[in-house]
Amino acid sequence: MGTKDVKPTRSELIELKKKIKLSQSGHKLLKMKRDGLILEFFEILNKAKGVRNELDDAYDNATEKIGIAEAVEGRMVIKSTALALKDGPEISLESHNIMGVVVPKIEASSVHKPINKRGYGILGTSSYIDETVDSYEILVDKIILAAEIETTMKRLLDDIEKTKRRVNALEFKVIPEMQEAMDFIRFRLDEMERENTFRLKRIKA
């Protein structure tokens, strides 16, 4: 808002005063939101680190289990057994709110299945296959958890960045410009009042 565009009227001054007050309270709130989001982000960051480590471990374990199963049973056996499993996990996506940031809540059902509900016969298979399936079920669980936490983290980061930009814009641009405009109007109004007083004195004389 340049001072050139400002009409130096009393009503404009009142309007500007209102706007500055509103911007200052907005600025304060946004600062609080930014700080809150940062705190929340660090909490989730710690959780994300833990989940990422668990995910890496689960992946290593699943890779080793399938490696052993492929070696002992053969890849053909593993592939054939895998054909008996058609149903994937059902993923439901909900959302919840952290300080106005909509973050996903991912829930998956039927990832873990008991040995007798997995789709393959027991007598023709072995514990190598059971343990491979187990380890991949755990891996899928961890992937879902990591997806939820890491998406939340990304959304929070985006929102922190956005809030920071808004806080800075209010603090360094919007409020100072409005204050400058307010000063300009005050100055012009004072000037106009002085001119008026001078004009009245000249008429009187």
Partner 1 sequence: MRLFQRLRNKSSSATSSGGSNYAYVTARVRAMKSNLLPKETYSRLMNMDLDEITRFIGETQYKQDVDELARKFKGVDLIEHALNRNLAVTFSKLIDISEGELNYLITEYLKNYDIWDIKTILRGKYYNATLEEIKDNLVSAGQLKYNFLSELAEKESYEHVIDTLSNTDYYPILKNYDGTNLPEIENQLDKLYYQRLFNAIGTPKSSDRKLFSKLIRTEIDIKNIKTMFRMKKEGVEDGELEDLVLDGGLRLSLKEINSLVPLPFADFINSLEKYPYWDAISDFASPDMESLVDLETSLTKYSIKSAASFSHEYPLSIVPIMDYMINKKNEVNNLRIIIRGKAVNLDDEIIRNQLVI
Interacting residue ranges for partner 1, rule: CB under 8 A:
63-64, 66-68, 70-72, 74-77, 79-81, 83-86, 114-124, 126-128, 130-131
Distance in Å, CB of 92 to partner 1, minimum: 24
Place of tokens 């001078």: 198
Quick one: DSSP state of residue 84? T
| Residue (75 or 165) nearer to partner 1, CB | 75
Distance in Å, CB of 53 to partner 1, minimum: 20
| Residue (92 or 116) nearer to partner 1, CB | 116
At position 135, the amino acid (one-letter code) is S
Distance in Å, CB of 107 to partner 1, minimum: 24
Distance in Å, CB of 54 to partner 1, minimum: 17
| Residue (112 or 166) nearer to partner 1, CB | 112
Residues with Cβ within 8 Å of 174's Cβ and at least 6 positions away in sequence, in order, are 23
| Cα 71 to Cα 67, 78, 184, 186, distances in angstroms | 6, 10, 83, 86
| Residue (130 or 180) nearer to partner 1, CB | 130
Tell me the two tokens of residue 194: 């002085």
Residues with Cβ within 8 Å of 171's Cβ and at least 6 positions away in sequence, in order, are 27
